[in-house]
Amino acid sequence: MAPYRRDVTRVPVSRSVSRGNDEKDADHPNIPSRRPRLSQLAIIEYPDPRLKRVARPVTAFDERLRRLVADMAETMYSAPGVGLAATQVDVHERIIVIDVSETKDALHVFINPELLWASEEFALCEEGCLSVPGVYDMVRRPSRVRVRSMDPHGRPFELDCEGTLAVCVQHEMDHLEGRVFVEYLSPLKQTRIRTRMRKRHARQA
Ligand code: K1U
Ligand code: ZN
């Protein structure tokens, strides 16, 4: 499944403000005044208990889902991050967005993803999390995975992942199971991270 290429088409402003225009323009999604505005969603932070919730499968492949996916992508790009699970924005449905490209124009959207296969070979990679800002540590995971999923229109696809994409997809699928990457770290590190996060939240209060 090819990732969604981000649409960077710019329509001249004069087209969007032209008077007495035909109906064709009124429906054109690239005309700024007609394009629905994207929202940045609030990301919940560790150790918020809502990060422990197990997400339920998506059953309605409708405009509301596609709008949520667009808002999640906007939230991920502006954070900035390379992935985001719906759990992190307090929506407990099985939805993930990922873009590990340098150019930030290769969005992967996974609805109801399932792990079909994981390699016996493992890799140690540094991970971060938008729900645990400022914390990075090494996590060991299968180096390659195959995922079965659906796109936002309910069409099934399978994707072989390796490198950063494999790390990211496993990290995000953990979020859907209510797991945060710090749970792979030692109890001492987890305690230190919780203390650090609680201090951060007290400062912000
Ligand atoms: O799940 C998340 O909170 C997103 C997380 C994904 C991830 C990163 C690294 C390894 C595994 C999973 C992030 O995006 S953390 C931020 C980050 O990695 C980043 C930030 C700015 C530029 C590039 C990457
Ligand atoms: Zn995360």
Three-class SS state of 5: strand
Report pLDDT for 2. Answer: 76
Residue 9's pLDDT band, with cuts at 50, 70 and 90, is very low
Report pLDDT for 4. Answer: 79
Would you please indicate which residues are annotated as catalytic (active-site) residues? 172
3-state helix, strand, coil split of the chain in percent (to 5) is: 35, 25, 40
Measured by CA distance, the residue closest to atom 17 of ligand 1 is: 81
Q: Which residues, by Cβ under 5 Å, contact ligand 2, an ion? A: 129
Distance 82 CA to ligand 1 centre (A): 5
At 171-197, the pLDDT tens digits run: 999 999 999 999 999 999 999 999 999
Which ligand 1 atom sits nearest the alpha carbon of residue 130? Answer: 3
Residue 49's pLDDT band, with cuts at 50, 70 and 90, is very high
Compute the C-alpha angle 127/102/55, nearest 5°: 45
Distance 31 CA to ligand 1 centre (A): 32
Report pLDDT for 36. Answer: 72
Q: Which ligand is nearest to the CA of 80?
A: 1
Distance 98 CA to ligand 1 centre (A): 9
At 56-93, the pLDDT tens digits run: 999 999 999 999 999 999 999 999 999 999 999 999 99
Report pLDDT for 22. Answer: 38
Strands 83-85 and 95-98: antiparallel
Residue 7's pLDDT band, with cuts at 50, 70 and 90, is low
Residue 141's pLDDT band, with cuts at 50, 70 and 90, is very high
Q: Which of 48, 78, 82, 90 to mutate to test the pocket of ligand 1 (most atoms within 8 A of CB)?
A: 82
pLDDT at 103 over 70: yes
At 147-156, the pLDDT tens digits run: 999 999 999 9
Distance 179 CA to ligand 2 centre (A): 9
Report pLDDT for 6. Answer: 65
List ligand 1's pocket residues with C-beta within 6 A: 80-85, 88, 127-131, 167-168, 171-172
